Homo-oligomer: A and B are copies of this chain.
Amino acid sequence: MPLDKLQSTLNYQFNERSLLETALTHRSAGNPNNERLEFLGDAMLGAVIANELFHQFPAGDEGQLTRLRSSLVKKDTLASLARELDLGSFLKLGEGELKTGGWRRASILENTLEAIIGAVYLDSDYNQCQAFIQNTFADLLDAVSLEDIQKDPKTRLQEFLQARKKAIPIYEVLSSTGKSHQKIFTVSCRFDDLPAAIQGQGASRRKAEQAAAQQAFVLLQSKIK
C-alpha cells in the first residue's frame, strides 16, 4: 500500500487510516477534504512550536520568539518540509489542479502538511502530536538561532540582496546638522530595484545608515509578499 510508505516516512502509524486519507485530499478533489484538518493542524503546530522555542530560548524575549516562530511555520518552510516528505506524490487533487501541477504548489503542500498534523492530533492526543512535530521539525529547530533574527538592518539588507545576486546598497551622507554633540545625520541608501533612494536619520552616520537600511528592508519585504 502506498500509504504505508508515507506512514513510514512520517514515522507515525495511523489508527484511523481514513484521517490520513482526508488529510491528503485537496478540496479540488471533493469532500471530505483537508481544509478543516488544516485549520486544526495549523493551531496545534503553532502551540507546539511556541512551546519548543519557549524552552529552547530561555533568554529570548516575546518579539524574538514570535519572529522565530514565524520563520519556522511560514509557507515556504512548511512547503519545503512537505517536499522532503514527498507529500506531493500522495496528494489527491481534482482535474484542474492536476493539470496545472497543483502537487508542486507551495500553498497546497503547506496546507497538506498542516492537515496531516491535525490528523495525527485527532488520531492520538496532544502529546503524540507534539512528539510528531518535534520529530518532523527536529532539523529546523536545531538550526534556528536568535542570531538569525538579531542581525543589524544593514547586514540583513546586504545578505538579503546578495542571496538574490543583487549589487550591495550604496550609502551616502546627505547632510549633518546641529551642534557637535547633538548632530543629526541624514543618509541615503540606494540599490537596484529601489524606485528612489531611501533616507534615514540618526545621531551618528552609522545609526542613520541602519535606519535607512531598516526602512529599505521593510519595503523590500512588503513588495515580495
Contact = CB atoms under 8 A, between A and B. Distances in A.
Interface string A7-51: 000000000000000000000000000011011101110110111
B47 A35 contact: no
Interface of A: 35-36, 38-40, 42-44, 46-47, 49-51, 54, 60-62, 65-66, 69, 121, 126-127, 130
Top 7 closest pairs, chain A to chain B, by CB: A43-B50, A47-B47, A35-B62, A126-B126, A43-B47, A39-B62, A39-B65
Copies in the complex: 2
Contacts of A50: 39-40, 42-44
The secondary-structure label for the interface of chain A is helix
Contacts of A36: 54, 60-62, 65
Contact of A40 (B51, B127, B130): B51
A66 B39 contact: yes
Contact of A46 (B47, B51, B62, B126): B47
Contacts of A62: 35-36, 38-39
Q: Which residue of A46, A66, A69 has the most chain B CB atoms within 10 A of its CB atom? A: A46
A87 to B, nearest CB: 18
Q: Which residue of A35, A40, A66 has the most chain B CB atoms within 10 A of its CB atom? A: A40
